[in-house]
Structure 1
Amino acid sequence: MSVDWLPALASAWLLGLLGGGHCLGMCGGLMGALSLAAAPGQGRHWPLLVGYNLGRVLSYALAGLLFGGLGLAVAHTPALAVLRTLAALLLVAMGLYLAGWWHGLTRIEALGRGLWRHLQPLSRRLLPARTLSQALALGGLWGWLPCGLVYSVLLWSAAQGDAVKSAALMLAFGLGTWPVMLATGLAGQGMLAVLRRRGVRMAAGLLVLGFGLWSLPGPHQHWLMGWGHGH
């Protein structure tokens, strides 16, 4: 992967970091269950947390590879600009959601509920996860939970027009969620209280909103790239 893709990978990682609070809303209960699955006071729950999050991130990368094929199929057609515009608008919607200004993105999450109905019974069989392999498999299934944030970044990564790069971007996004997810799983309610502060949510929302606006196809991207090369 060329050096030109490093900013995109960094952006994907940052989107995961900023959206970590939203991830806790989706997976926080399961993280607590994993912490309680191990014997108390023996410090054995952190391998389960790592295994779960590794499985979850790998499922994001798989989704990126699959949906990246869509971007590859339209890479040299006008449909790619449409795909990129839709992806940017979803990121704008995600920013508004994170900031608490608009919750319309939750309607998009309904699109994935059909698949989740088939996967949820399988995930229940793995609870309580007491081994690393169980936690890994549980994370791999839980990564397909309907989530507006994942859908937004997934469409953005697919709009790059390359399946392998789409998978890499989703992997970077998933790794970006790790600090918050692991810290919360280990530190508990203290981290969760910080992430729920309105100022923190608004700051994250504004940054994602700004990234979505910047991602919209248009002359502004050429102006910024030209300015950077000129300096």
Structure 2
Amino acid sequence: MLVSALALGLLGSLHCLGMCGPIAFMLPLDHQNHGKKIGQIFIYHFGRLMAYGTIGVLFGFLGKGLSLFGIQQKLSIGMGILMIVLVLVPTRYFNTYKISKPVYQALGKIKSKLGTELKKKTPDAFLTIGFLNGFLPCGLVYMALLGAIALGNAWQGALYMMLFGAGTIPLMTTAAFSHTLFPATLKSKIRKLVPIFVVLIGALFILRGMGLGIPYVSPKPMNPQMEAASMECHQP
């Protein structure tokens, strides 16, 4: 399941270019020093991965809390169904629910801070830009978060989100160097594939929750006695 996070990031990179591309284009890079430029981009991506990992831990804890009620399989199925529903149902049906004012205010502060940091060229500025970038709203990030919740583990949730972020690095790096390498027709074609892939990932989480006994895809759940015995065997 963790591999799906990396694949989601790779395939959804062009979507990320549309959402976060302008920030990558505006990075205050040192275009005169190629080595320094690469280092600045690396720090920017490291900040993004830190943000995704932090969010992944929080939502992984949420999934763990839900799984403590003995609904780990149902949670995986539910998150998979939600992924598919969010792809198939037109977004206008969700726009009727207004985001609360505090959320808008928080996003406003993030954007304001980003604007300030984009005027600097210090290493900490690139780290801050990347970290704040990771908290900007993005539909693809929301899909990855559903996967982090479904895993029901804080550290796996963090790893899932960081792998998702790592998948976006190649194209986001290319965008930072040159945004003219991707013709509009190519972007359009790949963006059409993203919803299909999200549906496939949703189906994988549903299969995982069904416990069909398929190795690595849908393993059978352990009953409480087996799980307790397994934990005892791993104790020193």
- The reply to whether TM is greater than 0.5 is yes
Asked if residue 193 in structure 1 is aligned to residue 206 in structure 2, the reply is no
Asked if 1:216 is matched to 2:206, the reply is yes
Q: Note the C-alpha offset of 1:140.
A: 0.5
C-alpha deviation, 1:223, in angstroms: 5.8
Greater fraction helix: 1
Which residue of 152, 161, 181 corresponds with 2:152?
Answer: 161
Query: What 5-or-longer segments of structure 1 have no aligned partner?
Result: 1-7
1:206 aligns with 2:196: yes
TM-score when normalising by structure 2? 0.76
- Following superposition, the deviation at residue 225 of structure 1 comes to 3.9
Work out the CA distance in 1 between the residues paired with 2:93 and 2:13.
16
Equivalent of residue 125 in structure 2, options 134, 138, 148? 134
Deviation at 1:211, TM superposition (A): 1.6
Gap change, CA 1:104 and 1:58, over 3 Å in 2: farther
> Root-mean-square deviation (CA), in Å?
3.2
Contact 1:93 1:105 in 2 (8 A): no
- What secondary structure does 1:196 align onto? helix
Q: 1:156 Cα deviation (Å)?
A: 1.4
The CA deviation string for residues 78-102 of structure 1, in whole angstroms up to 9 with x for no partner, is 5545543442234325655xxxx94
Pick from 4, 8, 21 the counterpart of residue 14 of structure 2. Answer: 21
State the one-letter code of the partner of 2:195. Answer: G
Q: Which runs of 5+ in 2 are unaligned?
A: 220-236
Alpha carbons 1:214, 1:221 under 8 Å: kept: no
2:149·2:157 contact (CA, 8 Å) conserved in 1?
yes
Q: What are the equivalent positions in structure 2 for 1:23-38 lying under 5 Å apart?
A: 23-34=16-27, 37-38=28-29
Question: Counterpart amino acid of 1:212?
Answer: G
Task: Please name the residue that 2:41 is paired with.
Answer: 49
Note if contact 2:57-2:157 (Cα within 8 Å) is conserved in structure 1.
yes
Separation (CA, whole Å) in 1 of partners of 2:45 and 2:87:
23
1:11 aligned partner = 4
Question: For 1:197, what is the secondary structure of its paired residue?
Answer: helix
Of all paired residues, the percent bearing the same amino acid is: 28
Q: Verify the 8 A CA contact 1:93 1:104 in the aligned structure 2.
A: no
User: Aligned equivalents of 1:23 and 1:158: distance in 2?
Assistant: 21
Which deviations, in whole Å up to 9, do the C-alpha atoms of 1:183-220 show, x marking residues without a partner?
2222322136364132x222333222222123225786
Give aligned pairs, total. 215
Tell me which residue corresponds to 1:89. 81
Question: Could you tell me which residue of structure 2 aligns to residue 184 of structure 1?
Answer: 175
For the pair shown, the structure with the greater C-alpha radius of gyration is 2
1:171 counterpart = 2:162: yes
